Amino acid sequence: GENVEQHPSTLSVQEGDSAVIKCTYSDSASNYFPWYKQELGKRPQLIIDIRSNVGEKKDQRIAVTLNKTAKHFSLHITETQPEDSAVYFCAASTGSNYKLTFGKGTLLTVNP
Amino acid sequence: DSGVTQTPKHLITATGQRVTLRCSPRSGDLSVYWYQQSLDQGLQFLIHYYNGEERAKGNILERFSAQQFPDLHSELNLSSLELGDSALYFCASSERTSGSKSYEQYFGPGTRLTVT
């Protein structure tokens, strides 16, 4: 089955800096890669996603890149703010069953 | 607010007991997914229902079962509970199983289960 590795497990940045979180996946059939943000005790919230037919997608301060050949994708957050502090999860899915396989998560701390 | 609702928010029960968790998907969504989140295992897919039919199973224990009703709400039944079943249980819903909106899954607030 699919396996998703996520790095780093923790990331601490200064407010205004950029943050990058990287994930690799194992199943070449995976074609959908969402990113979720989870605040303590809250639900995972979909923040951005990318399909396998696209190399990059941007939404204001967040962007995701996908390298299908290398089977890795990354989340980029620019101009970080304290409210960006949360656990971020990457996930992968194939079109055949739609289940999401999640990475272990990255605890992002943005220091004011 | 994702539009997905789950009840109860918290559940405390003893080992050996049985509980039922309930999920109502977003209006119009036909797919319901159940996930378990624990500190050691992370977020793990349990089961997927689409319009009342089971579509995929993940690492779901035989003690666990689920169903989706004609009104599209879903229930996850956990029986013979063990200490290790303590976790956050999330359901998520998505619009359909084809087309551009089929992939996006929106999570409910979760049910925190504590087994003592």
Q: What is the pLDDT of residues A86-101, one digit of tens each?
A: 999 999 998 656 789 9
What pLDDT score does A107 carry?
97
CB contact under 8 A, A43 and B90: yes
pLDDT (average), residues B64-76: 97
CB contact under 8 A, B107 and A36: yes
- pLDDT > 60? residue B91: yes
**pLDDT band at B1, cuts 50/70/90?**
confident
List of residues 6+ apart from A103 with CB closer than 8 A: A4, A5, A6, A23, A89, A90, A91, B42
CB pairs below 8 Å between A and B: how many? 59
Residues of A in contact with B107 (CB under 8 A): 36, 43-46
**pLDDT band at B79, cuts 50/70/90?**
very high
Residues of A in contact with B42 (CB under 8 A): 102-105
Pick the residue of A38, A43, A64 with the most B CBs within 10 A to test the interface with B by mutation: A43
What pLDDT score does B102 carry?
66
Question: Which of these, B79, B69, B86, lies nearest to B32 by C-alpha position?
Answer: B69
pLDDT (average), residues B73-91: 97
Tell the residue number behind the tokens 């299908």, with chain if given. A68
Question: In residues, how long is chain B?
Answer: 116
C-beta separation of B73 from B4 below 8 A: no
What pLDDT score does A53 carry?
82
Q: What is the mean pLDDT of chain B?
A: 92
Residues of B in contact with A102 (CB under 8 A): 42-44
C-beta separation of A80 from A19 below 8 A: yes
Residues forming a β-bridge with A10? A107
Tell the residue number behind the tokens 């790095």, with chain if given. A7
**pLDDT band at B15, cuts 50/70/90?**
very high
Question: Which of these, A104, A111, A84, lies nearest to A15 by C-alpha position?
Answer: A111
What pLDDT score does B98 carry?
58
Residues forming a β-bridge with A108? A11, A86
C-beta separation of A86 from A75 below 8 A: no
Residues of B in contact with A97 (CB under 8 A): 48, 55-56
- pLDDT > 60? residue A45: yes
What pLDDT score does A99 carry?
87
Check residue B77 and give left, alpha or beta (phi > 0: left; psi -120 to 50: alpha): beta
Of B31, B56, B108, nearest to A43 by CB-CB distance is B108
C-beta separation of A92 from A24 below 8 A: no
pLDDT (average), residues A59-76: 96
Residue of B nearest to A95 (CA): B103
pLDDT (average), residues A36-63: 93
Residues of A in contact with B58 (CB under 8 A): 99
Pick the residue of B34, B43, B46 with the most A CBs within 10 A to test the interface with A by mutation: B43
Distance of alpha carbon B34 from alpha carbon B44, whole angstroms: 9
Q: What angle do CA B53, B5, A77 make, to 5 degrees?
A: 100
